[in-house]
Amino acid sequence: MNDFQRLVLAYIIFIVVDLPWLLFSKKYWLKVAGTDSFDPFPAALLAYVALAVAVVYIGLPLAKHYTEHPILIPGILLGFTIYFCFDMTNRVIFGKRYPWWLAFADTVWGMIASTVTLWLVTKFN
């Protein structure tokens, strides 16, 4: 499998894995946005491009350096780094409208989603 195929695979997997969280958390994002017409899906579809790049060009090479739990540690680190930075930036921008519990829940979810995506990409690779 070449890199482009891995990127497409990671992109599709991330969408499938993340969709339940997006649907669940949409009501909270509406409060953060302060509107009833907020739709996170177009921006999410673009964000998955960057997430796929991170899985293929950071997660997969990093996984090669771990003999024990080769997917677990890179997936968790990847998800933590990306999602924690995103969530703390949201806290700075939105303040109280972006509650701490949502920031931490989203970070944990990102760690899980990144790990699952990385694992599935390696299974299909």
Per residue in 65-105, pLDDT tens? 888 888 899 999 999 999 999 999 999 999 998 999 999 99
- In this predicted structure, what is the pLDDT of residue 79? 97
Distance CA 114, CA 125 (A): 16
Cβ atoms within 10 Å of 123's Cβ, excluding its own: 9
The number of folded domains in the chain is 1
The residue-averaged pLDDT of 15-42 equals: 82
pLDDT(9) > 90: yes
Cβ atoms within 10 Å of 3's Cβ, excluding its own: 11
pTM, entire model: 0.90
- In this predicted structure, what is the pLDDT of residue 67? 80
- The domain in which residue 37 lies consists of 3-124
Both tokens of 97, joined, read 């409208």
